[in-house]
Amino acid sequence: MDGSTRRRLLAVGTLLPLDLLALGGPGGGGGAGGGGVSPSPDLLGHLDDRVTLITAGYERAPISATAAQVRRHLPVVRSLLMRDSLPQATRTRLHHVVGRLGALRATTRHDLGDTPGATAAFGEAYEHAALADDTTLQCWIRLWQSSLARKAGRPADAAALAAAGAALVERGSPAAARAAAIEARAHGALGDRAAVHGAVGRAWNIAGSLSADQHGRPGFSIDTLHVLTLSELSAAAYVELGMPGAASVYTDAAIHHLDTAGATGLRSMARIAAATAAAKRRDLDQAVELVGEALTISHDRPSSVIARRSRRFVSEARGYVGWHASLDNLDERVRAWPAHTS
């Protein structure tokens, strides 16, 4: 398969039938579970390209569309792993692809409100990541598991999982910076102010030494960490700690730049963090406006994360300002929003 053929396949987002792509070696036969035919280099390259494109597009595509792409590709790669007598290098590469696709599947389950499904899928993806020695993905999954533990009311477990993720990767890597930020959020849930300050500081120290390629683009990523993404993660840690004023230091500067970057979920989450800070200083009109903007931005890409954070905002804002008609109106809008699933 030449480069132009691969580009056409990538453009339509499909895979050719396995037999056409994989039968490149001697022997030319056998199903997914039998025979000694190894997937061709073209197929392996195509799979790597598909994973890269799906990952890069996650923040800007409807979550259900990403889920459909993953459902189409994952069985193909799993079937290739079932073949006998694969060279170890090929098997490792396939585990890498399955791990990445499995992690994407887990993320879509989470963002669509299926926490048990996400938990199981992250566990399976971690096994493939370990077999591929994909330590960046192993760390990334541990950080997701940390977030799930925190949401389940187990902040100490969340902190331990984040630390375990950090231990898997190099100290100066994007993954290490992300791990420090996620650990900060767990410490925020524990109410440990010093630990939050320390972890956020570590994250930004690492980010300051990253190259442009390591920063990547704002929004969803596995291998990179943009400073705008880190801003949102830092703000979330301070919201968790109950210091929304500190959170606003990160959100106020980031919102405009995020709008320019077009990272849908990140734009909404930064606004909700900024709204929490505004509500605590009794600027309810601005706060409600920010959450309303967040819901509008993510309306065509609904996520249970945005719904859950919006509900939390309404609850916390009522604690700050008491009864208010604008909060009741916002509460009704949140309840009717497309992603009210969890």
Closest Cα partner for 263 from 288, 226, 235?
226
What's the total number of domains in the chain?
3
Note the pLDDT of residue 105.
Answer: 97
> Given 182, 217, 242, which residue is the final one in a domain?
242
> Is 2 in the same domain as 49?
yes
Give the whole-angstrom CA distance, residue 130 versus residue 205. 28
Q: Are 28 and 76 in contact (CB under 8 A)?
A: no
Kindly state whether residues 214 and 156 are assigned to the same domain: yes
Q: What is the pLDDT of residue 60?
A: 85
155 with 129, same domain: the answer is no
**CA distances to 67, 118, 179, 213, 268 from 53, in Å:** 13, 21, 24, 16, 23
Distance, in Å, from the CA atom of 63 to the CA atom of 226, rounded to the nearest integer, reads 21
| In a domain? residue 28 | no
What is the reported pLDDT for 136?
98
Could you tell me the residue range of the domain that residue 331 belongs to?
A: 251-342
* Within a domain: 125: yes
Please check whether residue 33 lies inside any domain of the structure: no
Do 10 and 73 lie in one domain? The reply is yes
CA angle 239, 240, 245 (to 5 degrees): 25
pTM score, whole prediction = 0.86
Residue 271, domain member (yes or no): yes
Task: Say if 25 falls within a structural domain.
Answer: no
pLDDT given at position 118: 97
User: Is 333 in the same domain as 283?
Assistant: yes
CA neighbor of 279 nearest in space, from 252, 256, 254, 245 = 245
CA 236, 123, 147 angle in degrees (round to 5)? Answer: 10
Q: How far apart are CA 46 and CA 7, in angstroms?
A: 9
**Residue 265 is assigned to a structural domain of this protein:** yes
pLDDT < 50: residue spans in the chain = 1, 4-35, 340-342
What are the residue ranges of helices labelled H in the chain?
3-12, 18-22, 41-57, 63-81, 88-111, 115-131, 135-151, 155-166, 174-190, 193-207, 212-215, 227-241, 244-261, 264-280, 284-297, 304-321, 325-336
